[in-house]
Amino acid sequence: MKKKDKVNRQIIHLFATSLCLCVISSCSIKYDSEFSPDEANPELTFTQATLYKIEEGNLKMQLNSTLIEQYKNDNSYAENADFFTWDNNNELDTTGSCQIMGIDQRNEIYTLLNDIEINSNSNNLEIKTDALRWNGKNQQLTSNRESDVYIKHDDMVITGKGFSASGISKSYSFSSAVTGEMNSGSNNEEAPEENSGE
């Protein structure tokens, strides 16, 4: 009786294995249903590239990068990026750099990652952090909650988390407690630069 049970189990196991093989071999893969190779592979790739954005004959932005990939969905990716923007008076307004930049042209969203440094001449503002997101439609600059953001603004040096800034109101805030120092008077104006990036 034990031998019979053992044989029955082997037959059931063999039948189940055969059934699985038949089902697997009869399946067809729909390559075009969920994944399109065109979306995963860049349409254009540039190395050691410089891109310009010109509006009404005036230079508005310049991007230098060791690698730029452009995709069909109007998204781009840049490595080791240096960028510059000019104001309406054609004066250099902002300089910056980061290791990785994601550009969503359709939604005007720019994502900056790793070793970010931004200097705004018009706002006398310096920013250093590891993750930022700029929304061009509402002119909002935000960091993630985990990254420390270093700000040097006029005579004030601040470090905190949960940074957000408005390009419209020219104001910024932190969602967490901040540390820093404020120097007043001409004798101490150079002091914050000694702690830059610390």
Confidence (pLDDT) at 185: 59
Greatest C-alpha distance within the chain: 100
Which tens digit of pLDDT belongs to each residue from 123-136? Answer: 888 999 999 999 98
Which tens digit of pLDDT belongs to each residue from 60-97? Answer: 999 999 999 999 888 999 999 999 999 988 999 999 99
Residue 72 DSSP code: T
Q: Read out DSSP for 115-174?
A: EEEEEETTTTEEEEEEEEEEETTTTEEEE-SSS-EEEEETTEEEEESSEEEETTTTEEEE
15 sits in the region (left: phi over 0; alpha: psi -120 to 50; else beta) called alpha
State if pTM tops 0.75.
no
Assigned token pair, 81: 């990026």
